Amino acid sequence: MRILKTLMLLISIFPLTIFAGPRLLSSYPALMKALNGGERVRVILHYGECDLFIDGEKAESSPGAVGGMDMETFEWFPAGLFGDHPAFVVASKSVLIANPIGDGYVINYVKIRVEENGSVTVTARYLNPQNYEILMDETFKTQIFSKQNEGAAYFYADE
């Protein structure tokens, strides 16, 4: 009888493991719990819903592009470590891509900084792969998406 109960339990749980999808992380504590727990975390950015800054000046609008990256390598810094700054986590990625605004290839560099208040700053740069000259430099600002705000940074952990 115990074997039958165990088998029934396994059969009832098995479909959940097959169909489990990504879990939305809608706060800084949820993001940090997932990262510190060794979970695979991915961020999807809806740039058109962010505030765009070029050379420190806020642009009238942002491009309607969407991008994403895994937060494979990250660093967390406690509040006050760098003066009066809040706690934050940072991750970045560089990938060689075909230049979408010109010919040839560029290094697409993206850095994400998430502060404990839920603010998200994204630095996006195109670099010349031969001399690392900055060809494009944009900063986007938003919040972690939750049902209580209009944040444009969606963080997910795989289940």
Output the average pLDDT for the chain: 90
Token pair recorded at residue 79: 């509040």
Query: Which among 13-17, 40-44, 149-153 has the top mean pLDDT?
Result: 40-44
Domain boundaries, the chain: 24-157
- 48-102: per-residue pLDDT in tens? 999 999 988 999 999 999 999 999 999 999 998 988 889 999 999 999 999 998 8
Could you please report the per-residue DSSP string of the chain?
-HHHHHHHHHHHHHHHHHH---EEE-SHHHHHHHHHTT--EEEEEEGGGSEEEETTEEPS-----EEEEE--SEEEE-TTTTTTPPPEEEEEEEEEEE-TTSSSEEEEEEEEEEETTSEEEEEEEEE-TTT--EEEEEEEEEEB--TTS---EEEEE--
Q: For the whole model, what pTM was predicted? A: 0.83
- Tell me the pLDDT band of 23, cut-offs 50, 70 and 90: very high
